[in-house]
Amino acid sequence: MVVSGLIAQNKPGTQLPIKRAASAVEVDGVLDEQAWRDATVATGFFLNFPVDSALAPFQTEARVTFNDQFIYVSFVCYDDDKPYIVQSLKRDFDFENNDNVTFQIGPYNDKQNGFFFTVTPYSVQMEGTVSGGGTNDGGYGINWDNKWYSKSTRHKDKWIAEIAIPFKSIRYKNVGEWNVNFLRWDRKHNQASTWVAVPIQYSAGAFAYSGQLVWEDPAPKPSMNISLIPYIAGSASRDSEVTPTQKNNDLQPGLDAKVAITPSMNLDLTINPNFSQVDVDQQVINLTRFEYQFPERRQFFLENSDLFANAGFPNSRLFFSRRIGLATDSTKNKNLKQVPIAFGARISGSINKKWRLSMMDMQTKEKLELGLPRQNYAVATVMRNFGQQSNISFTYVDKTSLGLRASDTLKYFHEDVRKYRVSNGDSTAVFSEYSRAFGVDLEMLSKDNKWYSGSFYSISQNPFVSKKNHSGGVFNQFNTRQFNVFLGAMFVGENYNSETGYVPVHGVYPGFWSAFSSINYRMYPKNSGIAFTGPQSMYNIIHTPDGTLTDQNYSVGYSMNFKNSMAFEINGQYTYSRLTNTFNPIDPFGTKNFVPFVKGDVYDWLAVNARFKSNQRTIVNFSSELTFGEFYNGSALNIKGQLNYRYQPYVSMALRFDYNDVKLASGHGQQKLFVVGPRLDVTFTNKLFLTTFVQYNNLRDNIGLNTRLQWRFKPASDFFIVYSENYFPETLSSKNRALVFKFTYWLNI
């Protein structure tokens, strides 16, 4: 719509009325019911990318209506006859690489929390939760899984999506208005558009730029909702790395339950949970002194996890759910092993518009081969919203080892449980029975998302520490179309360690304080194939508590993002390091007999880093990164990336690689370290999926195979068959292997 040369936008707060359907609605992708003719049409979709100054050239119409059971949504997506980009038929797809539309709602009307429902032209679904106002990618959790229905139909000049969301599947209160926006990601034209216009520098789903869904007829009163999800899993495994070879067969039942205890508060229960169907970790080559943070992949821990997961700063998190049910063994390689979980419970949701609450308690079983007793993990966070988009939250974390006796120090030998107390030169084995942490976090966000500030303070406790056990930090961010400025500082005390959290500096630094910053400038060339471009810089400095400079990093670079989805970035980097511990980056397990770098050594080096991403819309595409330069007292070359191919929408293939050629001087060693990981995804239908993933890691001297077949025979109900095996690379003989099946069934009561 053009008015006097100006383009009209739907502004934040624009109202869209929703009325009760006057007729039945059949979810068939054909909008021929009277209910759709009566519904108000949301029009005037405005571009968010690659520019934010024009109406979307391919417009979208959205409508909403409801009855006692469902809220219905429809999209009419006008288009040309170019082929759609749909990577696969598998649920919870890669958002960026598929054409799709999204219905996003905030049923609490707080511009902070909500849900999104996304569907592609091939009726493939993705749903999730929104937290923190949806200000960035971290505010979207795709691991929330629930029942809803959709159907898409494709036509020469458009495609249509029709959606039915059961009121029982969402948490809401009977308020007269909900936050709402409609999003369209038109990947084949590389354009993002929204009903309420969102500036290009912000996430298209930011609630600060949402409209209001006005209930002209009241929504149905929330009712009691109980879902039971029983499962049974069986496995057959063989371990050839021990003598004699061990074989094991197991049949394991379990149960999950979801109970809506109030209209906006859920209770989740799990008994004897089994995660055998979860994707395996993507292996990495870690050349740093710090623990690498692999992402959580287990659904129970991912759902409604934002309050726990965001407590603290990235280098000082109070809670990290992978500490539960997973532990390292006592070998040099520190292999990660599963610890069986007996049961768990979580309460999460909104008490009212201002208060949110999340509490979880999990108990693991004894694992004698790892030297672990039964352990109980508890975490609780309460959040108070204030202002437009600000909040303060309080978090408490507790890990307690159960059933310990003073005489059991040989039985329970894990390093997190058994410690040594030194007195008069003698060391005595004693138990660390608990680890606790308490923290407070403050987040403040301006109404227009331009200013963002965060801070935290935390204290940890265990039986042996009462001093230097604090951590804290503060940051401020200023974000406009042209500038993104980020400034912050933090500290971690020498004895601060939330054992159920993620504190990678623990055991490396004797405490530290740091300052960090980044400045990016964006330009938007007109009449160009470039969407935005500009220089960027980063600076980070770290001191130990006595003021000694230990690390200093800064980089200066330039980036270009193209309208066809290509991107390029180049950076010059400087690193200074005064080592605070002894280590060798290419011999982390001490198996190569290389000379280690020792505490107090000082090094500085220069390097160049370049990144390139090809047009992601093509059938064959790739992303790559090159880093080359000095490294400690030698040199290093790193080449990593991923090559992708799709035969849409049925087959996707990818080859991930990470190659490191490190040459250190004076006996410190030379190594060519790499990980190669081909992956095959086949979607036979939108209910039957096959994934095969192979990884070769020469640092760990291992080839791993994981194959998973999934049949979603009913909404939220699945049957899995998983085969995994690890091999010795030289002979391809088996180290260990396992065949697992799992059957889950979702029952609504």
Local confidence band at 6 (pLDDT 50, 70, 90 cut-offs): very low
Confirm whether 89 is domain-assigned: yes
Lowest-pLDDT range of 26-30, 73-77, 421-425, 724-728: 421-425
For residue 578, the surrounding DSSP H or E stretch is strand 567-578
Please answer whether residues 445 and 390 qualify as being in contact, where contact means their C-beta atoms are separated by less than 8 angstroms.
Answer: yes
For 638-649, give the secondary structure using H, E and C: EEEEEEEEEECC
632: left (phi over 0), alpha (psi -120 to 50) or beta: left
The whole-number average pLDDT for the span 337-365 is 93
Structure tokens at 592: 């190569």
Confirm whether 135 is domain-assigned: yes
Please answer whether residues 542 and 489 qualify as being in contact, where contact means their C-beta atoms are separated by less than 8 angstroms.
Answer: no
State pLDDT tens for residues 229-267. 999 999 999 999 888 999 999 999 999 999 988 888 889
d(CA 490, CA 502): 15
Cis amide bond preceding 649, omega within 30: yes
Please answer whether residues 139 and 133 qualify as being in contact, where contact means their C-beta atoms are separated by less than 8 angstroms.
Answer: yes
Local confidence band at 429 (pLDDT 50, 70, 90 cut-offs): confident
- The residue assigned the tokens 């490191």 is 660
SS3 state at 595: coil
Confirm whether 176 is domain-assigned: yes
Local confidence band at 7 (pLDDT 50, 70, 90 cut-offs): low
Chain mean pLDDT for the chain:
93
Structure tokens at 569: 């970035």
The whole-number average pLDDT for the span 384-397 is 93
Please answer whether residues 45 and 65 qualify as being in contact, where contact means their C-beta atoms are separated by less than 8 angstroms.
Answer: no
d(CA 344, CA 365): 12
Confirm whether 623 is domain-assigned: no
Burial 96-130 (b: 16+ CB within 10 A, else e): ebbbbbbbbbbbbbbbbbbbbbbbbbbbbbbbbbb
pTM of the predicted structure, to 2 decimals: 0.90
d(CA 108, CA 133): 12
State pLDDT tens for residues 438-489. 999 999 999 899 999 999 999 999 998 889 999 999 999 999 999 999 999 9
Neighbours of 668 (CB within 10 A): 19
Confirm whether 420 is domain-assigned: no
* Domain carrying residue 38: 2-215
pLDDT of residue 353: 81
State pLDDT tens for residues 609-629. 999 999 999 999 999 999 999
d(CA 19, CA 11): 22
Please determine, for residue 597, whether its predicted confidence score (pLDDT) is greater than 60: yes
d(CA 202, CA 198): 7
State pLDDT tens for residues 57-66. 999 999 999 9
Please determine, for residue 304, whether its predicted confidence score (pLDDT) is greater than 60: yes
State pLDDT tens for residues 90-138. 988 889 999 999 999 999 898 888 999 999 999 999 999 998 888 887 7
Local confidence band at 145 (pLDDT 50, 70, 90 cut-offs): confident
pLDDT of residue 1: 33
Q: What is the CATH number of the domain that holds 134?
A: 2.60.40.1190
Please determine, for residue 632, whether its predicted confidence score (pLDDT) is greater than 90: yes
Please determine, for residue 3, whether its predicted confidence score (pLDDT) is greater than 70: no
For residue 610, the surrounding DSSP H or E stretch is strand 602-613
The whole-number average pLDDT for the span 552-563 is 96
CA dihedral defined by 365, 367, 371, 376, rounded to 10 degrees?
-10
CA distances from 710 to 280, 299, 310, 669, 740 (A): 15, 16, 32, 45, 12
State pLDDT tens for residues 153-173. 999 999 999 999 999 888 887
| Size of the chain in residues | 749
The whole-number average pLDDT for the span 34-43 is 96
SS3 state at 596: coil
Please determine, for residue 640, whether its predicted confidence score (pLDDT) is greater than 80: yes
SS3 state at 664: coil
The whole-number average pLDDT for the span 405-412 is 90
Lowest-pLDDT range of 132-136, 664-668, 742-746: 132-136
Confirm whether 34 is domain-assigned: yes
Please determine, for residue 82, whether its predicted confidence score (pLDDT) is greater than 80: yes
pLDDT of residue 585: 94
CA dihedral defined by 209, 214, 218, 224, rounded to 10 degrees?
-10
Beta bridge partners of 710: 689, 720
State pLDDT tens for residues 182-219. 999 999 999 999 999 999 999 999 999 999 999 999 99
Strands (E), 187-335: 191-194, 211-215, 226-239, 246-262, 265-271, 312-313, 316-317, 326-328
Please determine, for residue 2, whether its predicted confidence score (pLDDT) is greater than 70: no
The whole-number average pLDDT for the span 389-410 is 93
Confirm whether 174 is domain-assigned: yes
Total number of domains in the chain = 1
Please determine, for residue 143, whether its predicted confidence score (pLDDT) is greater than 90: no
Confirm whether 72 is domain-assigned: yes
